[in-house]
């Protein structure tokens, strides 16, 4: 991402954001102390964004000519984005594509003839309770595709879409893919070492994204990944509850914890790189 401007003037920032967005420039706003920062999320728009900002310097009245962010209630109904479009706008191609793949795998597991081949293809190492699958390295990641109940997949896909989508829109697809690979590898391997190969789910990655969000957006309510304290407490309480006998389902507790820790590390790395890049 590229920082375009910073200001303490919230009204100026809102107008500039609206001005650029209405001209097709992908931008987002973050908060850094008392400063509001305007960031370009797609590097290929850099020249266009700079030209528009230069135009604003010479013609600041253009800010007041930008259309309001919300259409009036009397506007025609076709101007309202569809639910599908709104959902897609909240994610990137990797978030949406991976969610679709998870759903397709779950659907396949509901077919008796497909259950055994799918499980054998995606489990961490169905042939061993001890050996890491170096000869088939995709198995380090594929358990995250497996879900065994409707509640399991609904919970994970929802949080994947919410946290992964916002992360991808703000930091880019490459960072989400890198984060997914790191967190899935760590959480799946840790769970395998504790319980063997018969586990699955995206929960470890979800807890990794949760930990990342806590680090990068702590006390920054304008950040796209900001999480309210109540939600943070709920996610941590659910994690701890998994270690008790109170839940009615089997929980991959080690994957959750390892995912959370690895997500915290990735979040700290992103924070460090962000500070380094602004110096």
Q: Which residues are catalytic?
A: 203, 256
Specify the DSSP class assigned to residue 68.
P
The Cα 226–Cα 49 span in angstroms is 26
CA dist list (Å): 29 to 54, 173, 195, 223, 247: 19, 18, 43, 7, 40
Tokens of 238: 């659910």
The Cα 177–Cα 265 span in angstroms is 16
Tokens of 73: 């209630």
Which stretches of the chain are DSSP H helices? 10-21, 46-58, 62-65, 83-89, 93-109, 112-122, 150-159, 165-171, 173-195, 203-216, 229-241, 253-278
């Amino acid at each position: 991402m590229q920082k375009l401007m910073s200001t303490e003037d919230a009204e100026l920032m809102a107008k500039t954001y609206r001005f650029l967005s209405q001209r097709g420039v992908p931008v987002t706003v973050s908060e850094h102390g008392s400063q509001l920062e305007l960031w370009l999320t797609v590097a290929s728009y850099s020249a266009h964004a700079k030209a528009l900002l230069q135009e604003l310097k010479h013609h600041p009245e253009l800010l007041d000519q930008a259309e309001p962010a919300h259409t009036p209630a009397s506007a025609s109904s076709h101007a309202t984005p569809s639910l599908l479009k709104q959902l897609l706008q909240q994610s990137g191609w990797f978030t949406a594509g991976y969610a679709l793949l998870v759903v397709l795998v779950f659907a396949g597991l509901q077919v008796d003839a497909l259950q055994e081949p799918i499980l054998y293809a995606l489990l961490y190492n169905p042939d061993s309770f001890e050996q890491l699958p170096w000869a088939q390295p995709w198995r380090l990641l594929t358990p995250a595709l497996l879900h065994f109940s409707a509640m399991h997949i609904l919970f994970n896909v929802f949080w994947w879409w919410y946290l992964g989508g916002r992360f991808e829109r703000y930091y880019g697809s490459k960072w989400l893919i890198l984060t997914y690979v790191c967190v899935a590898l760590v959480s799946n391997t840790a769970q395998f070492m504790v319980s063997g190969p018969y586990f699955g789910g995206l929960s470890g990655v979800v807890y990794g994204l949760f930990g990342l969000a806590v680090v990068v957006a702590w006390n920054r309510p304008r950040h796209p990944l900001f999480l309210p304290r109540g939600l943070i407490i709920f996610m941590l309480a659910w994690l701890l509850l998994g270690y008790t006998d109170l839940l009615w389902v089997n929980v991959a507790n080690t994957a959750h914890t390892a995912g959370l820790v690895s997500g915290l590390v990735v979040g700290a790395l992103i924070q460090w790189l962000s500070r380094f890049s602004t110096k």
